[in-house]
Structure 1
Amino acid sequence: MKVMFWLCLMQLGVQTIDMGEIRNLYQRAPKVKKDALQLNQLMLRVDSLDAPVLICYKGANEMIQAKYTLNPFAKFEKFNRGKELIKKAFSRDSLNLEMRFIRYSIQINLPSFLGYNDELDTDKRFLLDNTRENKDTKLKEIIFNYLAILPVIKQEELKQLKK
């Protein structure tokens, strides 16, 4: 009977992670520290057994947290930890559109001296080729709106996404 009681308590403590909230916070976190802190709190619940997309968000979160860290050594440590989490997520699912978007949005915003930009062209092509057919309309909207403001995306490419 005691075991059943503890199992019920543990179940109550487990909360599901709202992907919509993660997506919204991820978009605002690089510019709004409060949102970065909130995203970080959500990502503390993600572990290595979670879905690869959550692990990828956790890695991106580490890199965002590096932006708000003053110590250069701690910054670099967070960056590397984030890079490893994203790599781990891709080892489990390399064809996930949302993960490609996350990695692309991270790599395009990082300084080139960090050397984390090898997948920029591949991810851009993947996004352009696969966004339109994706069933998740909210994700498609997020990707389109993000790509639309980038100077490296041509108008013809945006039209291809809208068709």
Structure 2
Amino acid sequence: MKSILVLLATLCFTMQSLDLNSIRDAYKDAAQDKTKTEAFYNALKKVTKKNKVELVAYKGAAIALVSKQAITLKEKKEGFIEGVTLVEYAITKAPNNIEVRFIRLGIQENTPKLLKYKDNIEKDKLFILKQYKNISSSHLKNHIKDYILQSKAFTDEEKTLILDS
């Protein structure tokens, strides 16, 4: 039954155009519920480096999320590296894009220390705090705010600043 639901969700999701609002919502769901990870990944499977940098970064996040469920340590590591390589590519292409920096922050904050992918947490956090007020998309702004409010990387004072924005 669960597989049928995942298949239906995947089909419905991939039939829709890849609009960022849907992708953001699917990312949030996939990050919180591993049963939704596969559908999120499948929706982004056809994204290439020629697509919007945000989609490339979300595809990288999807690959990283799927790699957590791999069976062997080698598959986990290879998947993780493939995913973060896409995220880093997106940041190289658009270093001032708050959404791709937000995606990297989320991955780095939730990655085990063992993987040594935590170098940009403070830099991305400060960038996001500084640029937050300039976000024109209310959906993106709420998406980032929701993350910040539950994040351990942000202090209570920083969370209050976001709430007051």
TM-score with structure 1 setting the length: 0.86
C-alpha separation between the residues in 2 aligned to 1:159 and 1:32?
Answer: 27
User: Which whole-Å deviations, capped at 9, do the CAs of 1:118-150 have from their partners, x for residues lacking one?
Assistant: 110000001111112211111111111111112
C-alpha separation between the residues in 1 aligned to 2:53 and 2:97?
Answer: 9
* Structure 2 runs not aligned, ≥5 long: 1-14
Q: Offset at 1:30?
A: 2.6
Identity of aligned residues (%): 29
Q: Offset at 1:16?
A: 2.9
Aligned to 2:52: 51
Q: Which amino acid aligns with 1:16?
A: S
* Structural mapping, 1:110-129, within 5 Å: 110-129=111-130
C-alpha separation between the residues in 2 aligned to 1:128 and 1:103?
Answer: 15
SS at match of 1:75: helix
C-alpha separation between the residues in 2 aligned to 1:107 and 1:146?
Answer: 13
Q: Offset at 1:15?
A: 6.4
* Structure 1 runs not aligned, ≥5 long: 1-13
Q: Which amino acid aligns with 1:63?
A: A
| 1:36 and 2:29 are equivalent in the alignment | no
SS at match of 1:35: helix
CA contact under 8 A between 2:105 and 2:120: conserved in structure 1? Answer: yes
Aligned to 1:8: none
Q: 1:152 to 1:90 in 2, by over 3 A?
A: closer
| 1:152 and 2:159 are equivalent in the alignment | no
SS at match of 1:140: helix
Aligned to 1:108: 109
Greater Cα radius of gyration, structure 1 or 2: 1
User: Which whole-Å deviations, capped at 9, do the CAs of 1:44-66 have from their partners, x for residues lacking one?
Assistant: 12012111111111111110001
C-alpha separation between the residues in 2 aligned to 1:150 and 1:86?
Answer: 20
Aligned to 2:64: 63
C-alpha separation between the residues in 1 aligned to 2:60 and 2:43?
Answer: 12
Q: Which amino acid aligns with 2:144?
A: I
Aligned Cα RMSD in Å? Answer: 1.5
Q: Tell me which stretches of 4 or more aligned residues in structure 1 moved more than 4 Å.
A: none
| 1:23 and 2:14 are equivalent in the alignment | no
SS at match of 1:132: helix
Q: Offset at 1:18?
A: 2.0
